[in-house]
Chains A and B, each alone.
Chain A
């Protein structure tokens, strides 16, 4: 483990360390949810980097692995509620992919807080803000991801 990585949990305790969270949001629901969170002025930590995809079904497990390998401390997969998909059944396919992803991540030793699935509709701004706040608090407790490359904060 590098000096930075070793120092990071200590910094986390003092509150100086901000986790890096990658959130995949679908264009029609959860991205709108993130938007309405801003419009509704719900406070949330500035720890997320949102990546907009047209549908959560587009999120390849590869994208998630890449996020982790590039230094994300947590990856969130979000989409429309089941049955509300703009593309009829895109999020059903997300569910299948996530099942695999979850199992592989668990077996690999990635904590379950670091990879989460949530369905957020465009009107649920508060839910989105709360979700980000909860995840940030959980990750702050856990410290940096074990897959973070050396030299990445």
Chain B
């Protein structure tokens, strides 16, 4: 097995295969890595209900196997969780998690050689509070009755406990302001080729649909991870057919184009009154600092420039905290949307940060988290 090879695989454990999102390959791969001592710990989401889950670092194989199944309405980011812990760890990661982990790696908070990143194809995740509201308003369902969810062919399908399926197209939901989180709509990283191994259900054909996962190996670590799982008897793989590979590329292209379209829609240039716009958006800020605490690319710790030079008593027209954050995120923002999710006064922070990040990252041709390039801010000379 080596880089850029593709496979279709599934778990050999019946139970995991049934519960897992598409064949339970990722769960089994993580469990195998833990059991064969390839890693010391695995990060998984411990499910509370359909809308809540806590990320945990575990060394218990059963706990990993129990976590099988996908959750679309728990927008977590694992990068900060494993930072500064010096763990030998394997973890599943969406595109934005991978980018966060790589950025933390650049800032010496994560040792990337010891981190096995299992990338997951991601078309977007949903905010749990918004999802509950959407279920009541759009689907006319009680959130408590929902048993499972699935995204298929542009439709968001909820399954209730009585076995019925309720489907509405994502376009329709997003028109009404529900559906995916805003940052997911304009995200263009749908297949995480920056991870060690990219997994997802796109490209699975025939009678394997829904029962297998399509994997693409992106690095030696990824090959090691998959080979280990096969040797341990947790996973079975076969070569994908041409049709599947083409289908995967097509879905990827369609999703990325959709992301670009959304980008144009969200970031309409403001000609006049930009300062007023930013001041208005930030006027409810209560200085809790949650946006910095969750930011997967920030590795400053508690004592940092943005907090240390900011005093409410200064009564500046704009808080120094936000100005420093705007500057720092100009080349670091990966657009994961964590800051908007945690903001207690619902400031659309990701949208604000991206306004600064988009032009800078375009000018410097630098995409944070996509390669190991040093952030241009720390270069000695400007490459023009």
Contacts and interface: CB of A to CB of B under 8 A. Distances in A.
Same complex for A and B? Answer yes
Interface of A: 61-62, 65-66, 69-70, 89, 92-93, 95-97, 99-101, 103-104, 107-110, 146-149
Majority-rule SS of B interface residues? helix
Interface in B333-383: 355-356, 359-360, 363-364, 376-377, 379-382
B275 A104 contact: no
Nearest to B330: A100
A52 B203 CA distance: 62
A15 B377 CA distance: 41
B284 interface: no
B166 interface: no
A149 B319 CA distance: 12
B327 A69 contact: no
B317 A149 contact: yes
A70 B323 CA distance: 14
A147 B318 contact: yes
Given A61-B327, A110-B275, A104 B356 contact: yes
Contact of B380 (A65, A70, A92, A146): A92
B231 to A, nearest CB: 48
Given A92-B382, A96-B377, A104 B320 contact: no
Interface residues of B, number: 33
17 contacts: A69-B314, A89-B380, A89-B381, A96-B379, A100-B331, A103-B356, A103-B360, A103-B363, A104-B327, A107-B326, A107-B356, A108-B278, A109-B274, A109-B276, A110-B275, A149-B315, A149-B317
Nearest to A103: B360
Contacts, number: 81
- The 9 A-B residue pairs whose C-beta atoms are closest, nearest first, are A109-B274, A109-B275, A69-B316, A65-B323, A92-B381, A96-B382, A103-B360, A95-B382, A147-B317
B53 interface: no
B316 A149 contact: yes
Contacts of B274: 107-109
Contacts of A97: 377
In this complex, the member of A70, A95, A99 whose beta carbon has the largest number of chain B beta carbons within 10 angstroms is A99
A6 to B, nearest CB: 15
B36 interface: no
A95 B364 CA distance: 13
B317 A104 contact: no
Contacts of A110: 275
B360 A62 contact: no
B380 A103 contact: no
A62 to B, nearest CB: 6
Nearest to B314: A69
